[in-house]
Structures are given as structure tokens and as C-alpha cells.
């Protein structure tokens, strides 16, 4: 089934896409959402065909045995594509670890991937409180899906102590202003590792503004407030 994968490209070596690991990052074409700050805006159209054959990814990973820890499926939204299951299995069978970036729009697909034991680490974006999701991602009914995926991930993590994850919130000047509430909701749902990150200008759609007067101070204050929530691990990433 991997021949149906729509892949937009690959970063052959990355030390930032899975903190602490050296990986190749594969970018899946297409995402059902349309966030105003999406830094991979150019690859979210689901109708655009893939340009990277899966065989090339496999060939690269064969050459990188001993050099890379694994692969990260990023996007776009990789869980949109049913063939991800077979692709992740093939990479695992080669002896690599598999990481996943997801915003959680497909809770059932995420559940299947986790239950199949194919994913070793997840970086999950939680973007807003459930009611504010449509304002951030531009689609209705998005909040329930993302927060359901969060619960699936955290339940899985609780049952699998070796599994690792990071919950990520991207802050930006024109957000609904619910960042602290989002962080609190994630903590109350059981998240131990939380990353607060600033949206970047690079790659974002036209019209998006990553900066505003007073934004750096606002972001610092937000980081301090979130620190007080007492996550076991808090990461703050500035643009
Ligand atoms: S969910 Fe992620 S890939 Fe999709 S539009 Fe939003 S930021 Fe971009």
C-alpha cells in the first residue's frame, strides 16, 4: 500500500525534529486544516500529488543504517494517509525508531498506529481550547478531534512507560488568547512534557504576522505563567 503515499519531500538528516534523536524527516503532502501560521503552508493541499516515491525513502534509510536513529513522519498531516501504517511498519522492520508529528485530526488513525506498536515518539500540536479550534485551523469540528487525539496519546503513554511524546502549543500575536487555558487543559489531561513555541514567519501564508508590538513581552509572561502550572518538563522555543 506504500505506493499510494503522497510525499512532498524529505530532510535526510535532522537533529531538531525529534529532540535527542538524529532522524530523517519525511513530509507528507496534504492536511485537512488550514492554520493561519502553518509554516509548511505550501504542502497542505490534499489534491497535490506526491513528488517523492516511497522507495527513495527506503533506499536512503538503508544507506543510513548506523548513522540515523530513525525517521519522523511530518507534514502536512501524515495520519491522513492510510498507507502510513505500512510505511511505519517497514521502517520499524528495518530496525529504526519511528516518530510522528501530528495535529490529531484523525483520532482513529492515531489509535491504530499506536496500538500497532509502530510509533516510538509523538510530537502533538494542541492549538486552542476546543471552542476556539475553528478560529485557528479554519475548519469546523476540529477541536473535538484534536482533544480526543490528545487523550488517546496520553492514555497510550500511561500504559507504555518507554513511549515518549511532547505536546506543543504554538503562540502567535493574533491568537484567541487562550494559551494558558490550553496548557492547563493539557496538564489536567495528564500531559507531562509540554512545549510552548512561537510561530515563525518563514513558510507561513501571506498575511500572517508572527510579530507585533509588545509580543516578546507577552510571550515571556505566558511562558512564566505556564511554568507555574508545574509540568514535569517545559520547553520554550522562540522563533
Ligand atoms: S495542522 Fe499543521 S500542517 Fe495542517 S495547516 Fe495546521 S500547522 Fe499546517
DSSP secondary structure code for residue 118 in this structure: -
Q: What is the pLDDT of residue 2?
A: 87
Q: Residue with the nearest Cα to atom 6 of ligand 1? A: 35
Q: Model confidence over 91-143: pLDDT tens digits?
A: 999 999 999 999 999 999 999 999 999 999 999 999 999 999 999 999 999 99
Site to probe by mutation for ligand 1, drawn from 37, 38, 100, 102 as the one with most ligand atoms within 8 Å of Cβ, is 38
Contacts by residues 150-155 (CB-CB < 8 Å, ≥ 24 positions apart): 150/104, 150/124, 150/126, 150/186, 150/189, 150/191, 151/189, 152/107, 152/110, 152/111, 152/114, 153/104, 153/110, 153/114, 153/122, 153/124, 154/189, 154/190, 154/191
Instruction: Assign residue 53 the CATH number of its domain.
Output: 3.20.20.70
pTM of the model: 0.97
31 alpha carbon – ligand 1 mean position (Å): 6
| CA angle (159, 98, 146) in 5-degree steps | 60
Please check whether residue 199 is in contact with residue 41, taking contact to mean a CB–CB distance below 8 angstroms: no
Domain that holds residue 111: 2-237
78 lines ligand 1 (CB under 6 A): no
Q: Model confidence over 51-104: pLDDT tens digits?
A: 999 999 999 999 999 999 999 999 999 999 999 999 999 999 999 999 999 999
For the chain, how many structural domains are there in total? 1
| CA angle (111, 113, 116) in 5-degree steps | 105
33 lines ligand 1 (CB under 6 A): yes
Residues 6+ apart with CB under 8 A from 193: 164, 165, 166, 167, 231, 232, 233, 234, 235
Closest atom of ligand 1 to CA, residue 137: 6
Q: Residue with the nearest Cα to atom 3 of ligand 1? A: 76
Q: Model confidence over 186-237: pLDDT tens digits?
A: 999 999 999 999 999 998 999 999 999 999 999 999 999 999 999 999 999 9
Amino acid at each position: 500500500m506504500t505506493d499510494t503515499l503522497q510525499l512532498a519531500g524529505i530532510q535526510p538528516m535532522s537533529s531538531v525534529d525529534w529532540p535527542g534523536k538524529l532522524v530523517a524527516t519525511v513530509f507528507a503532502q496534504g492536511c485537512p486544516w488550514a492554520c493561519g501560521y502553518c509554516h509548511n503552508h505550501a504542502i497542505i493541499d490534499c489534491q497535490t500529488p506526491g513528488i517523492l516515491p516511497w522507495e527513495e525513502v527506503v533506499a536512503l534509510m538503508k544507506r543510513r543504517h548506523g548513522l540515523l536513529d530513525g525517521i519522523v513522519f511530518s507534514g502536512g498531516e501524515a495520519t491522513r494517509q492510510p498507507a502510513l501504517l505500512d510505511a511505519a511498519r517497514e521502517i520499524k522492520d528495518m530496525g529504526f525508531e519511528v516518530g510522528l508529528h501530528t495535529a490529531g485530526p484523525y483520532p482513529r488513525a492515531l489509535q491504530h498506529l499506536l496500538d500497532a506498536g509502530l510509533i516510538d515518539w509523538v510530537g502533538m500540536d494542541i492549538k486552542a481550547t476546543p471552542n476556539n479550534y475553528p478560529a485557528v485551523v479554519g475548519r469546523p469540528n476540529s477541536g473535538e478531534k484534536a482533544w480526543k487525539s490528545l487523550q488517546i496519546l496520553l492514555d497510550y503513554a500511561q500504559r507504555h512507560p518507554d513511549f515518549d511524546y511532547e505536546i506543543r502549543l504554538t503562540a502567535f500575536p493574533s491568537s484567541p488568547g487562550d494559551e494558558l487555558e490550553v496548557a492547563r487543559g493539557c496538564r489536567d489531561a495528564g500531559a507531562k512534557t509540554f512545549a510552548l513555541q512561537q510561530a515563525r514567519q518563514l513558510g507561513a501564508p501571506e498575511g500572517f504576522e508572527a510579530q507585533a508590538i509588545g509580543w516578546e513581552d507577552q510571550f515571556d509572561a505566558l511562558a512564566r505563567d505556564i511554568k507555574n502550572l508545574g509540568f514535569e518538563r517545559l520547553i520554550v522555543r522562540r522563533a
